[in-house]
Amino acid sequence: MSIEEILAAVEPRLTRIEAEMAQPDVASDPRRMAALAREHRRLRELLDARHRITRVRKEIDEMREAADDPELAELAAGELPDLEEELARLEDKVRTLLVPEEPEDARNAVLEIRAGTGGEEAALFATDLFKMYARYIESRGWKVKVLDGHFSDLGGVKELLMSVTGEGTYGRLKLESGVHRVQRVPVTEASGRIHTSAATVAVLPEAEEVEVKLDPQDLKIDTFRSSGPGGQHVNKTDSAVRITHLPTGLVVTCQDEKSQIKNKHHALNVLRARLFKRALDEEQNRRAVQRRSQVSSGDRSAKIRTYNFPQNRITDHRVPITIHRLEEVLAGELDLLLNPLTEHFSREKLDNVLSDKV
């Protein structure tokens, strides 16, 4: 089915959604209503773009006819490029809108960074990744909160857990999940030899309590004294919390807050996020069996990116994309990579949308 045929079905779909939103049981379900409202906005934008495309195409045809008239040729020559440029922008917008957002994309995110192979250098690289994300998050006007962290003797990140709050944080950051590899001369290397190390990043969508039910009998909750920075409070009260989910073996530790209650609350949120992501991954794996051409899930075991310091180069291996602007990306200009990545995967999703309609 062509894009034009799909667009022709937008108006009936919009009418059905409006009727569904008017139902009392839907109006009393905030989550369902929010999902329908997002889809309604997308379809309305598609319908408006379709109408505008029709008008612009008509104007282009008129300008081309006018070009044959000596008195109007100059006017047509001046307006035609602008109209063709507007048509291209509208068609790009339609292609983007034809790919529905995943329901979880609008959620807040939980971000985990872990040092991988490479010892102390891997931990220092994990610190660079944390700073990169913190700068990017700040530039977007989002909020970040470190929930737990374990550090090496040189101050590198062995493991860091943080929440990111803001509109669409998960949808924007989810492509960062995977293994990040670095090639550089470590500060611990006296001979100047280039080493290769790695760190892993996992991005999880924040889950709500109603979506992931936690049976208290499935939880083992331990409290202990916090370690690390914290002034007089550290090692004086058992405020840190460790929660083990017995059925899956997942373990979450939070010790950032001075309050045991707050740490328990954060730990439960992270546990829900991990269980929710596990359920999403299982569903995605099921779909992968049915459709081999799906977009990569960004599994954390896959090497997704290499940061080469000697060449000031970053390569993303999924597309691939290579840019020689490493310092700018580490300074927080992550959109240099995320924009082309998002566009690439959107095109792949659009191909799947079109093939599914055939």
Q: What is the pLDDT of residue 236?
A: 56
| Mean pLDDT, residues 230-246 taken together | 69
Longest Cα separation, the chain:
89
Q: CA 104, CA 118: separation in Å to the nearest integer?
A: 34
pLDDT in tens, 98-115: 777 777 888 899 999 999
- pLDDT (0 to 100) of residue 68: 80
pLDDT one-digit tens code per residue, 129-179: 999 999 999 999 999 999 888 898 888 999 999 999 998 899 999 999 999
Question: Which amino acid type is present at position 63?
Answer: M
- The Cα angle at residue 119 between residues 117 and 120, in degrees rounded to 5: 135
Q: pTM (2 decimals)?
A: 0.67
| Confidence band of 353 (pLDDT split at 50, 70, 90) | low
What is the C-alpha to C-alpha distance for residues 92 and 350, in angstroms, rounded to an integer?
12
In DSSP terms, which residues pair with 178 in a beta bridge?
201
Average pLDDT in the 121-129 region?
Answer: 95
Lowest mean pLDDT among 8-17, 217-226, 281-290: 281-290
Please check whether residue 154 is in contact with residue 123, taking contact to mean a CB–CB distance below 8 angstroms: yes
Q: Which residue would you say has higher pLDDT here, 128 or 212?
A: 128
* Residue carrying structure tokens 């992550």: 334
Mean pLDDT, to the nearest integer, of 270-276? 88
**Strand arrangement, sheet containing 321-323:** 143-151, 157-165, 109-115, 195-205, 178-184, 303-308, 313-316, 321-323
Query: 215, 225, 179: which is closest to 198 by C-alpha?
Result: 179
Average pLDDT over residues 329-348: 90
The band of 283, judged by pLDDT with boundaries at 50, 70 and 90, is: low
Structural domains of the chain, ranges and CATH numbers in brackets: 3-97 (1.20.58.410), 106-211+295-357 (3.30.70.1660), 216-285 (3.30.160.20)
Asked if residue 299 has pLDDT above 50, the reply is: no
Asked if the model's pLDDT at residue 303 lies above 90, the reply is no
pLDDT at 358 over 70: no
